[in-house]
Structure 1
């Protein structure tokens, strides 16, 4: 019988003392990444953190606002602001501290971002085909990426897209970018746990509804935020779940989330602007 390996994640607040040289040589420890061996046989598990051990004054509320297309504004409890797939024309009320980009189309990036933005993270490397690696800690936020391929000139460009992962207040938040193919076991291992995922639902510009739904069912995040294209593509995506996930249509473009209020059953939340 095939051996199944269950990757376990631990919760809690830890203070680590690491020599300065070691801090410079290695990225921060991810609280969201599952560590597993023997990948072809691994079974990944959704992780629901225990919140009873959190102090009452733990700053935990994260606000996610849909600005349009695939751009969200993420605001951490400590005041760090991030705009995803920043293109320069879908602007937030405030200048973000960090912007992430993917280069599939001009609606997902700009080569001329606001010069006042402190950190501009490209989802691709300067040398085509090479992986880009981001490990940014800013205030109470840690940002990393997982490279995937994109379609380009009739073929595929290796590592041209990034799934960006934002670790904030105990939450693992992922933005799939312009994902063009189903993920491998190695990708899932790099990603780890995603409590919240922003997923393109466009019927084929990224992937078809069937393929994208398989990715979402494998990730089994607690909260799924559709993006990229409303209308019939969104309806086709929702139809793939057939009651396995809850669906809610919001009259607001924003949602405030914490470890304490994640839904027990996976919820696809359609924010205002995606209808």
Structure 2
């Protein structure tokens, strides 16, 4: 009997070994897929309030314009996405992320007060990888390719930056030019809020972008990178007969928390483009 119990324990240890030895960094690189909340309870809607009103477990997200957002955490960390010389927040962010596509997505002269300038590409086209913590914010990235002006491919020219704070995962798709693979989707894991370029021409076409968003299964989609109202409405038409709700806000700032994530996937339109 003792030999049988010993054998069972050894077998169980063998089954658990891969999980026990998995490095912690492997989990830090992704936001695991979790249920946002009970489908039977309607959560409160994201609050359109200034970031000064942030409470624990909340994140502020403000649309500055084009593809630039200002993310603010309870701990006071500020991030400007696709930081450039044309659309900048009023504050100097602690972190600035950039993408290669063109000058409305990066700056050659970032403000010297920025502590971390994170370029989503390398000049030699080799991969760039971020896995870093700044205060109460974690930042990672997934690289994708972009087209050049002649129709060729620039490998690793774009980064999807992922920001995790207050148990929320926010993904900025950058200047995405192609569909995501199953491997890409697995690496991204659970994304609660996705910031998506919806112009349908300079980035991925509208049908392709809608496919990407539906595969990500994020509770909140926020359109960006559109040049006029007609472009935005063309994108929104794809969700008119789907399970997605559409909500238009009067304020460019949202205060988000896990408790406020909608149980029905929702496209939230913030003023500006």
Report the TM range for the smaller structure's normalisation.
0.7 to 0.9
Tell me what 2:93 maps to.
Answer: 96
For the pair 1:132 / 2:120, whether they are aligned, the reply is no
Deviation at 1:145, TM superposition (A): 0.1
Tell me what 1:8 maps to.
Answer: none
Deviation digits for residues 19-43 of structure 1, max 9, x if unmatched? xxxxxx9858427434xxxxxxxxx
More helix by share: 2
Q: Aligned to 1:107, what secondary structure does the other structure show? A: coil
Q: Aligned to 1:120, what secondary structure does the other structure show? A: strand
The number of residues matched between the two structures is 233
Q: Aligned to 1:99, what secondary structure does the other structure show? A: strand
Q: Higher relative contact order by CA 8 Å / sep ≥ 6: 1 or 2? A: 2
Q: Aligned to 1:234, what secondary structure does the other structure show? A: helix
Deviation at 1:222, TM superposition (A): 0.7
Distance (Å, rounded) in 2 between the aligned partners of 1:192 and 1:168: 15
Tell me what 1:237 maps to.
Answer: 235
Deviation digits for residues 137-174 of structure 1, max 9, x if unmatched? 01100000000000013211111100000010100100
Give the conservation status (yes or no) of the 8 Å contact 2:29–2:140: no
Tell me what 1:30 maps to.
Answer: 28
Tell me what 1:3 maps to.
Answer: none
Tell me what 1:48 maps to.
Answer: 36
**TM-score of the superposed pair, with normalisation by structure 2:** 0.81
Matches within 5 A, 1:40-79: 47-48=35-36, 59-79=56-76
Tell me what 1:186 maps to.
Answer: 183
Instruction: Name structure 1 gaps, 5 residues minimum.
Output: 1-24, 35-44, 51-57
Q: Aligned to 1:235, what secondary structure does the other structure show? A: helix
Distance (Å, rounded) in 2 between the aligned partners of 1:150 and 1:47: 32
Distance (Å, rounded) in 2 between the aligned partners of 1:189 and 1:266: 20
Tell me what 2:117 maps to.
Answer: 120
Distance (Å, rounded) in 2 between the aligned partners of 1:223 and 1:264: 10
For the pair 1:155 / 2:152, whether they are aligned, the reply is yes
Tell me what 1:18 maps to.
Answer: none
**TM-score of the superposed pair, with normalisation by structure 1:** 0.80
Distance (Å, rounded) in 2 between the aligned partners of 1:177 and 1:75: 19
For the pair 1:251 / 2:230, whether they are aligned, the reply is no
Deviation at 1:60, TM superposition (A): 1.0
Q: Over alpha carbons, which structure has the higher Rg?
A: 2
Distance (Å, rounded) in 2 between the aligned partners of 1:28 and 1:79: 27
